[in-house]
Amino acid sequence: MVPSRIMRMTLSADHRLIDGAYAARFMAELKRVLENPIVLLI
């Protein structure tokens, strides 16, 4: 076993209220910001 830097995220959304594609875009953007926090300053 080797230690690594992994963070698991799960999003639960009601598909009657929100489209799954929108939720996927949100998760992708969240991942981008968490990996590059400097973008919060731009």
Between vectors from CA 27 to CA 15 and to CA 29, what angle results, nearest 5°?
135
Give the pLDDT of residue 36.
92
pLDDT tens digits for 1-42? 888 888 888 988 888 887 888 888 999 999 999 999 998 887
Catalytic residues, by residue number, are 15
Give the pLDDT of residue 30.
94
* Distance of alpha carbon 35 from alpha carbon 22, whole angstroms: 20
Give the pLDDT of residue 7.
86
* Distance of alpha carbon 3 from alpha carbon 25, whole angstroms: 29
Rg (CA), the chain: 14
Give the pLDDT of residue 28.
94
* Distance of alpha carbon 21 from alpha carbon 25, whole angstroms: 6
